[in-house]
């Protein structure tokens, strides 16, 4: 299962859940977990704007919509790297 670790420096992909997580890091394996994660709008915007080939955003708008877009873009990028 793919697991994402969201830290202060961005998102990292892991094949397994790490045994130890640093302070401030959040582990998510699904869009539902990302929705439930304690990420504020500023952090979500930083994650979005760090993605390549996206239009930069200044406001979150609807949090669920932004998370859906973030999850879709991240997985599409991963699929291109694996293929």
User: Would you list the domain boundaries of the chain?
Assistant: 3-82
What is the reported pLDDT for 54?
A: 86
What is the reported pLDDT for 29?
A: 86
pTM: 0.77
How far is it, in rounded angstroms, from Cα 10 to Cα 25?
10
Q: Please give the C-alpha separations between residue 54 and each of 36, 44, 49, 76, in angstroms, as whole numbers.
A: 24, 14, 7, 12
Segment-wise mean pLDDT, segments of 10 residues, the chain, 83 residues: 79 78 85 90 87 87 91 76 55
What is the reported pLDDT for 7?
A: 83
pLDDT tens-digit profile of 8-30? 777 777 877 777 888 888 888 88
């Amino acid at each position: 299962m793919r697991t994402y670790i969201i830290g202060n420096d961005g998102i990292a992909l892991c094949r397994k859940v790490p045994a130890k997580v640093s302070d401030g890091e959040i582990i998510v394996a699904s869009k539902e977990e990302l929705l439930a994660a304690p990420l504020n709008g500023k952090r979500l915007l930083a994650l979005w704007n760090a993605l390549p080939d996206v239009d930069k955003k200044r406001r979150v708008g609807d949090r669920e919509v932004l998370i859906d877009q973030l999850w879709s873009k991240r997985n599409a990028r991963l699929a291109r790297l694996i293929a």
